[in-house]
Amino acid sequence: MSYPNAIEVCRAELFTKEVELRDRYPQALVDKVLRVREMYNWFISNPDGPDREFVAEVCQRHGILLAAFFSKGETEVIGSYNEFLTTYAMISMHRQLR
């Protein structure tokens, strides 16, 4: 069975109950959605925080090295970077709507 990518799932089901996500998607995809949700909630709690603080928080919580973003050979790091971009895009849209 083919599943949508993490970005599509985050856009459609970011706040869907965890149990329902587990019923619909593989565990790895559910974990990605939950990490994006966690960082979205962090942003909601810190709306005036600068982008730099958000980036530092994402990197600290998920053990992401900024230098590793540019290493195309490591799919896990690139996947983390895509999650980061997804979260950042959602936060940017939220800021524009304020």
The predicted-structure confidence for 77-98, as pLDDT tens digits, reads as follows 445 666 667 777 776 666 665 5
Distance CA 97, CA 39 (A): 18
Residue with tokens 């965890």: 18
In this prediction, residue 39 carries a pLDDT of 86
In this prediction, residue 94 carries a pLDDT of 63
Q: Domain-by-domain residue ranges, the chain?
A: 6-97
What angle, 0 to 180 degrees and rounded to 10, lies between the N-to-C axes of helices 75-97 and 6-13? 30
CA 96 to chain centre: 19
Distance CA 9, CA 94 (A): 18
pLDDT tens profile 7-63: 888 889 989 999 999 999 999 899 988 988 988 888 889 888 887 788 788 878 877
CA 97 to chain centre: 19
The model scores a pTM over 0.85 = no
